[in-house]
Amino acid sequence: MEAASTKRSQQAESDDLTIAYVGGGSREWFPKLAQDLALSDVDGTMRLYDHYPESAERNAKFGNWVQNRDEVTADWTYEAIEDEDEALDGADVVILSTQFDPLETFVPDLDITKDHGIYHAVGATIGPGGIFRAMRTIPDYRRIAARVRENCPDAWVFNFTNPVHFVTRALYDEYPDINAVGLCHEVIHAREHLAELAREEFGMPDAEMSDISVNVKGINHFTWVDEAYCDGTDLWPDLEEFAQNEQANRTFTSEDLEDVSPFNDEWQVSWELFRRFGVLPFAGDRHIVEYATSFLQNGKEGLNRWGVKRTGSDFRAKHWDPSESEQTTDVTAWMDGEEEFELEASNEAFLNILEGLNGGERFVTNVNMPNRGQMEGVEHGTVVETNAVVSAGEIKPLSAGGFPRPVRSLVQRHVDTIETVVEASRDGDVDEAFEGFLIDPQVQTLQTEEAEELFTDLVNAERDYLADWDLEGARVLDYS
Q: What is the pLDDT of residues 169-221, one digit of tens each?
A: 999 999 999 999 999 999 999 999 999 999 999 999 999 999 999 999 999 99
Q: Which range (25-39, 59-73, 241-255, 317-331) has the least confidence? A: 317-331
Q: Reduced to 3 DSSP states, what percent helix, strand and coil does the chain have, rounded to the nearest 5?
A: 40, 15, 45
Euclidean distance between CA atoms 356 and 466, whole angstroms: 38
How far from the centroid of its chain's Cα atoms is residue 61's Cα? 27
By C-alpha distance, which of 377, 386, 199 is closest to 282? Answer: 386
Helix, strand, or coil (residue 94): strand
pLDDT average, residue stretch 64-90: 97
Alpha-carbon distance 117 to 120, whole Å? 9
pLDDT at 328: 67
> How far is 476 from 471, CA to CA, in rounded Å?
9
pLDDT confidence of 467, banded at 50, 70, 90? Answer: very high
The pLDDT tens digits for 435-444 are: 999 999 999 9
Residue 24 has pLDDT above 60, yes or no: yes
In the beta sheet, which residues pair with residue 230? 212, 233
* Integer CA distances (angstroms), 218 to 160, 183, 262, 396, 442, in order: 17, 14, 24, 17, 19
Q: Report whether pLDDT(458) > 50.
A: yes
Question: Up-side HSE of residue 305: CA atoms within 13 Å toward CB?
Answer: 12
Cα separation, 79 vs 96, in Å, equals: 16
**Cα–Cα distance for residue pair 226/248, rounded to 1 Å:** 18
Size of the chain, expressed as the number of residues it contains: 480
The beta strands (E) that lie in 153-297 are given as: 156-159, 179-182, 212-219, 222-230, 233-234, 280-281
CA distance 122 to 130: 9
Q: How far apart are CA 155 and CA 17, in angstroms?
A: 11
Give the Cα separation of 75 and 45 in Å (integer). 8
Tell me the pLDDT tens digit for each residue of 2-16: 455 565 544 444 469
User: pLDDT tens digit string along 302-340?
Assistant: 999 999 999 988 887 776 555 554 556 789 999 999 999
Contacts of 216 (CB under 8 A, 6+ apart): 187, 223, 224, 225, 282, 366, 385, 386, 387, 400
Can you give the pLDDT at residue 5?
A: 58
What pLDDT score was predicted for residue 480?
45
Extended strands (E) in 329-378: 363-370
Helix axes 106-115, 127-151, angle to 10 degrees: 150
Choose, from 165, 185, 287, 319, the residue flagged as catalytic: 185
Helix (H) or strand (E) holding 79: strand 76-80
- Measured at the CA of 26, the angle between CA 388 and CA 162, to 5 degrees, comes to 50
Q: Is 51 marked active-site? A: no
pLDDT score, position 2: 47
Q: Where are the alpha helices (DSSP H) in 75-126?
A: 84-88, 106-115
Please compute, for residue 34, the number of CA atoms within 13 A of its CA located in the half-sphere on the CB side: 32
Residue 393 — left, alpha, or beta (φ > 0 → left; ψ -120 to 50 → alpha)?
left
Residue 287 has pLDDT above 80, yes or no: yes
Sign of CA dihedral 242, 384, 170, 413: negative
Q: DSSP characters for 113-156?
A: HHHTT---SS-SSSHHHHHHHHHHHHHHHHHHHHHHHHH-TT-E
Close Cβ partners of 418 (under 8 Å, ≥ 6 residues apart)? 134, 165, 166, 169, 219, 382, 383, 436
Q: In this structure, what DSSP letter does residue 208 have?
A: -
CB 280 within 8 A of CB 288: no
Positive or negative CA dihedral for 178, 96, 431, 446?
Answer: positive
**Integer Cα distance of 310 and 326 in angstroms:** 16
Q: How far apart are CA 432 and CA 357, in angstroms?
A: 39
Q: pTM to 2 decimals?
A: 0.94
pLDDT in tens, 364-423: 999 999 999 999 999 999 999 999 999 999 999 999 999 999 999 999 999 999 999 999
Can you tell me the distance from the alpha carbon of 328 to that of 59, in angstroms, rounded to the nearest whole number? 13
CA atoms within 13 A on the CB side of 76: 31
Maximum Cα–Cα distance for the chain, whole Å? 68
Residues in Cβ contact with 237 at an 8 Å cutoff, skipping those fewer than 6 apart: none
